Amino acid sequence: MKFRNDKAGIIHATIGKASFDAAQLADNLNALIADLLKAKPSTAKGQYLQKIALSSTMGVGVTVDTSSLSTAAAK
């Protein structure tokens, strides 16, 4: 999955389109989280993913509980 980050450490990625159903979006989000955790440097300490927010292109962000995603991505 392709993603990019900015100077502030914010990750930008597309996980789907409006035509995708909820299961497809959830699968893509879990794949993104798994890829991010694989890319974690071994020297990184502390909580690697501090906060997750999802939004449409010009929409308001919705915060996601990171504890539920990290366990689902580990599967």
CATH of 4-73, picked from 3.30.930.10, 3.30.190.20, 2.40.128.20, 3.40.1130.10, is 3.30.190.20
More confident residue, 47 or 21: 21
pLDDT class of 21 with cuts at 50, 70, 90: very high
DSSP annotation string for 15-74: ---TTS-HHHHHHHHHHHHHHHHHT--TT--S-S---EEE--TTS--EEE-HHHHHHHHT
pTM: 0.76
Report the percent of the chain where pLDDT is more than 90.
Answer: 25
Contact 51, 64 (CB under 8 A): no
